[in-house]
Structure 1
Amino acid sequence: MTAAAFPPALLDALKALLGDRVSTSESDRAQHGRDQSRHEMHMPDAVCRVLSTEEVAGIVKLCAAHSVPIVPFGAGSSLEGALIPLHGGVSVDLTGMNQILDVRAEDLDVTVQAGVTRKQLNAYLRDTGLFFPVDPGADATIGGMAATRASGTNAVRYGTMRENVVSLTVVLADGRIIKTRSRAKKSSAGYDLTAVFVGSEGTLGIITEVTVRLYGIPEVMAAAICAFPSVDAAVDTVIQTIQMGLPISRMELLDDRTIEAVNAYSKLDLPVTPTLFFEFAGSQSSVDEQAEIVEELAKGEGATNWKWSKDADERAKLWQARHDVHWAIRAQNPGKVGFGTDVCVPISALADVLRETRRDTAQHSFSTTLVGHVGDGNFHLGMQIDPEDPDELNQALKVYDRMVERTLAAGGTCTGEHGVGIGKMKYMRAEHGDAIDVMHLIKNALDPKNILNPGKVLPA
């Protein structure tokens, strides 16, 4: 949609509803036309900053009457172009919906507006002895995390957003407001609408409130790190740890190139070799036992430089370095464009898929890094390419394609946590087959005018 095609009557109605919280300035539109991915910017025609579910419903009704696209916007940290308004229209900025509505400590759940961020929520919960564990690294909004079915470093123990969202408030494409389920621990009443909307990336409805599960803060937490002679040795340690049933909180793999970038960016002096980061949580005796067993498993695979600490500051520094990997790699490659992606495979296939991917990337001149939430078979490939060199982009796309092909052949998925957005759509038919047609039926039933984040998730 061009600015000339955007209905003036719609803009007037939006301003009547929201006042000066409607913007058509180029800077606001540009901010809402990009994310953290490599994908090209597309600006919306207008940005609407909302404060309530009712305002979202009002905007949706107005846009539906004019058949104008609507794209939800949160923290802007998407990595697959999920929030880019490909067809213009209205970007609905939910960051002003940042109220924590109801903490129910006795039920271990909390209801928040969609614009609340995970760090904001955990800071609020600190005095309750509870926390929300899903940690994608970025300080993403809870609504955005639900919309993309995010996970992160804690998923090996606590699961992803799929396991941790109890209920949603959603605005449908005609402006109706629904709640997807009750807060009961379990229910067999009707279809699981919560699961339908978690991961739908704004294509079926706009999530405005989220109820999520909470957990007790462990008595003791400790971090450990050790270096390995090869990626295979590190992954073998991970597999043995999982198969023993140890309740590890986090297991993160960084390859040698990633460690080199982390050392420079975070002022560390780690050996430049494939490295595992661990976190253990529980009682004093449980943490000691976990660490002792994992240390023996790691040393059995040739690990060296084993270090661990229960000190909160040291642990925070270590995990901050892990979360800063994206920026560390960017700093190591000035002038390059980051082409990042993720896949997820059954844990038994992880070593083979990683080995083949590393062998493939070694054939090319551009810098590549591998980072993984390897405890659940999820890893990220980062390629730093010259934006002025179309040949490098073509090479990177071929590496990307081959990685997904071997992932699907191993029984995995083309995206473990980044979502589909624009970048993963071409793999959806290969992964899901005729189930894609069922997804289209759901999309057409809930959004017959195709105004909700059009051009995302489902291939034509």
Structure 2
Amino acid sequence: MLRKKFLELGYRRAYSVGRQSVTKRILWSTSLVAAGALIGITGGTYYTVSTAREALFPFSSKTNLNDVPAPTYLDTRFHLNDFTRELQKVVNKEDMCSTPSELEGHSVNNYTLHKPDPEQRPYLIVYPHDTEHVSQIMQLCHKYSVPVIPYSGGSSIEGQITATRHQGLPMGSCTEPTVTLVLDFNKYMNNIIRVDANDLDCVVQPGVVAKDLNDLVLEPLGLLFGPDGAPNCEIGGQIGTSCSGTNAFRYGTMKENVVNVTAVMADGTIIKTKNRPKKSSNGYNLTGLFIGSEGTLGVVTEATLKLHVKPKFETISIASFKTLQDATQFVQTLTRQGILGVNAIELLDANMMKAINFSGQTTRKWNENATLLLKIGSHNHAILDETIKDIENLSQTQNCIAFEYAKSALEQEELWSARKAIFWSSIDYGRHLFGQNVKVWSTDIAVPVSNLSTVIDETLAELTSSGLYGTIVGHVGDGNFHCLVMYNEGNEDNAMQVIDSMTLRALRYDGTCSGEHGIGTSKRKFLELELGPNTIAVMRKLKLALDPKRIMNPDKIFKTDPCDDRP
């Protein structure tokens, strides 16, 4: 009976294949043999419940990686048929998919260069109907120790959707091959449940596309949801990565725009983090805990979102500056002046403006200088006009060489077209420089605005000296920028070195390794450098407290497997 219980708990561990020191293996073996003598299990192969708990939850405020055993997942040789049979009792056949094309589509996207290994594919895609259905599925996955990846949109670019635990050899692990299940919310859980214009909030499911929410539902009501990520990003993914986008300067990131979430925990428990009031002091901020967790703590199945009143009048202005430092200095001055009504401030560097002109994807030619695009809005047209004048006058004190603003909807579209054209323009220019097989790596960092021009200038200088080319687009109001690095197969190693160097540079200048893309698997090493091992160890303890079997999107953000030997 106890032996069966240990198997279900998933604490099997073969120490002969571990990378722990001989001393540690002796200590572990001694404790396990003693436990085996007490309960009649020979060979020291299984943890007792108390020993396993002490490993995962030592008597300290943190859990170090080398102090925990490797996770044990469903063994495909013995229990896959049992798991599949039970899953078929709660999920209809038409709501499961395992075709190679779908598995491939749920493993990688066109936005990332963090390509998974060929065997890093999920075993099965499941389309749940509602929160209760997710709970039933999670109970089974918890029972059989099956890794789960929540999937909303799939546009994340830092390896968040990679099935690191798969039917081949798991990622750097000494455990047995296993299977991974993907929970895809796009088929059923893509509904807008309620919109309340009076209380300025709405309740949505994770598969709702944020752009559709704004364009089709909120705009006719004169409302908007602030965070604006990629065009096809969905609410569940936005919560998972705490994304933001161009509007973050005015409306904040997801952390400021999610009122509460309903979540299913790793064992199937359903919780709601708080009620609807935007103001609350009711204990721990569990809502914030889920935002940015990348599906590693639980499955978000509903969210109440904060809404904003859309400015009645809004326009776009464009300002070109002699240098990048002039542009960023203007942003600092503008912020200190406290001028209201600036909803977005986007920076395009001289390289980007050159690429846009080269591509011909817009209707006009642009000054090839550091350029700021600003969204300016107000409920009163006279106030809007005064705000524009204030901003134009202020720009003249910062070596602004050209300033204009849109006087019609058509002119607004024309000015903002420069911002929309950044990606494909960069690719076109990259093909011009490196040939048709050019690769473009887009990554993001964030630093205090006072350090922004220095970090960008040093990054571009390193790119040039490495024989590469890069263009910059930044949500400069909050110090977040993306560098689109262009290269080909011959200089891929140089590109990777420059990108790593850029991230390390951000940390040296009091910045962060990711402003809005998240960590996934690709930036784990930088997160530990940024926060330090003790902070990561505290995060790890929280993770293990909520997901002791480590089935929720394994290996993302930080390591939880001591045998994981990847960066």
TM-score greater than 0.5 by the shorter chain: yes
Measure how far apart 1:324 and its partner are: 4.2
Q: Does 1:395 align with 2:469?
A: no
Q: Which moved more, 1:13-22 or 1:180-189?
A: 13-22
Tell me the SS of whatever aligns to 1:156: helix
1:446 paired residue number: 546
Q: Cα–Cα, structure 1 residues 317 and 63, in superposed 2: closer, same or farther, change >3 Å?
A: farther
Give the secondary structure class of the aligned counterpart of 2:92: helix
CA drift of 1:27 comes to 0.3
Matched residue SS, 1:362:
helix
Equivalent in the alignment of 2:312 = 219
Give the distance between the partners of 1:139 and 1:441, measured in 2 at CA: 34
**Corresponding residue for 1:109?**
201
Distance 1:330 1:14, change over 3 A: farther
Counterpart of 1:61, as a letter, is: Q
Does structure 2 retain, via aligned residues, the 8 Å contact 1:76–1:83? yes
Structure 1 residue 298 displacement after superposition: 2.4
Instruction: Give SS of 1:342's match.
Output: strand
Give 1:2 shift.
11
- Write the distance in 2 (CA, Å) between the matches of 1:59 and 1:265: 50
Equivalent position of 1:319 in the other structure: 416
Map of 2:484 onto structure 1: 382
Which amino acid in 1 is paired with 2:138? V
- 1:210 alignment partner AA: A
Say whether 1:278 aligns with 2:364. Answer: no
The answer to whether the 8 Å contact 1:138/1:323 transfers is: no
In structure 1, C-alpha distance between the alignment counterparts of 2:328 and 2:182, rounded to whole Å: 42
CA contact under 8 A between 1:137 and 1:323: conserved in structure 2?
A: no
Which residue, out of 495, 504, 510, partners 1:411?
510
Deviation for aligned residue 1:275? 1.3
Find the partner of 1:40 among 102, 115, 118.
115
SS at match of 2:198: helix
2:221 alignment partner AA? T
Give the whole-Å Cα distance in 2 for the aligned partners of 1:321 and 1:90: 41
Q: 2:523 aligns with which of 424, 443, 458?
A: 424
CA distance in 1, matches of 2:146, 2:407: 54
Cα gap change, 1:265 to 1:207, in 2 (>3 Å): farther
Q: Which residue of 1 aligns with 2:456?
A: 354
RMSD: 2.0
Which one-letter code corresponds to 1:66 in the other structure? Answer: Y
- Residues matched between the structures, number: 457
Task: Give matches, 1:26-425, under 5 Å.
Answer: 26-35=100-109, 36-41=111-116, 42-88=120-166, 89-96=180-187, 97-122=189-214, 123-247=216-340, 248-263=342-357, 264=359, 266-268=361-363, 269-282=365-378, 283-333=380-430, 334-386=436-488, 388-389=489-490, 392-425=491-524
Residue among 80, 83, 97 paired with 1:7? 80
How far did 1:77 drift?
1.1
Specify the code of the residue in structure 1 equivalent to 2:476: V
CA distance in 2, matches of 1:294, 1:330: 33
Q: Which piece of structure 1 moves more, 377-386 or 348-357?
A: 348-357
Give the secondary-structure state (helix, strand or coil) at the position aligned to 1:272.
coil
1:265 shift after superposition: 5.5
Change (3 A) 1:265 1:199: farther
> Larger Rg: 1 or 2?
2
What are the superposed Cα offsets for residues 28-68 of structure 1, whole Å, 9 maximum, x if unpaired?
Answer: 00000013211123321111122312222222112222211
Deviates more, 1:178-187 or 1:35-44: 35-44
Which stretch of the first structure deviates more once superposed, 290-299 or 38-47? 290-299
Determine the C-alpha separation between the residues in 2 that align with 1:44 and 1:322: 36
CA contact (8 A) 1:221 1:310 kept: no
- SS of alignment partner, residue 326 of structure 2: helix
Report the TM-score, using the length of structure 1 for normalisation. 0.94
Amino acid at match of 2:312: E
1:323 to 1:181, Cα distance in 2 relative to 1, 3 A: farther
Summarize the Cα distance change of 1:59–1:261 in structure 2 as closer, same or farther, 3 Å threshold. farther
- Contact 2:126 / 2:183 at 8 angstroms: preserved in 1? yes
- Is the contact between residue 429 and residue 459 of structure 1 (CA under 8 Å) also seen in structure 2? no
- Seen in structure 2, the aligned counterparts of structure 1 residues 320 and 74 have a Cα distance that, compared at 3 Å, is farther
2:56 alignment counterpart:
none
Give the aligned residue type for 1:40. Answer: K
Secondary structure at the aligned position of 1:246 is classed as coil
For residue 10 of structure 1, report the CA deviation from its aligned partner.
Answer: 2.6
Would you identify which runs of 4 or more consecutive aligned residues in structure 1 move more than 4 Å?
1-6
Q: 1:118 to 1:394 in 2, by over 3 A?
A: same
Using the size of structure 2 for normalisation, the TM-score is 0.77
Q: CA 1:301 to 1:74, structure 2 compared with 1: closer, same or farther past 3 Å? A: same
Amino acid at match of 1:227: S
- The 8 Å contact of residues 15 and 21 in structure 1, kept in 2 or not, is answered as no
Q: Which moved more, 1:110-119 or 1:324-333?
A: 324-333
Letter of the aligned partner of 2:212 in structure 1? Q
Alpha-carbon distance change, 127 to 180 in structure 1, aligned in 2, over 3 angstroms? same
Consecutive unaligned residues of structure 2, counting only runs of 5 or more, are 1-72, 167-179, 431-435, 561-567
Cα distance in 2 for partners of 1:454, 1:324 equals 36
Residue 380 of structure 1: how far off its partner (Å): 0.9
Distance change in 2, residues 1:188/1:30 (3 Å): same
Supply the distance in 1 between the matched residues of 2:74 and 2:463 (Cα, whole angstroms): 40
CA distance in 1, matches of 2:81, 2:418: 48
Letter matched to residue 236 of structure 1: Q
Cα-to-partner distance string for 1:204-252 (whole Å, 9 max, x where unaligned): 0111111111111112101011222221121111111111112311110
Relative distance call for 1:2 and 1:56 in structure 2 (3 A) is closer
Question: Residues 1-45 of structure 1, C-alpha deviation per residue, up to 9 Å, x if partnerless?
Answer: 999668133334334413212111000000000132111233211
> Residues of 2 paired with 1:405 and 1:284: CA distance?
45
* CA distance in 2: counterparts of 1:54 and 1:356, whole angstroms: 52
Q: Is the CA contact 2:196–2:202 (under 8 Å) kept in the aligned structure 1?
A: yes
Q: CA deviation at 1:317?
A: 4.5
Distance 1:272 1:375 in 2: 21
Q: Which amino acid aligns with 1:287?
A: L
What amino acid is the match of 1:93?
A: D
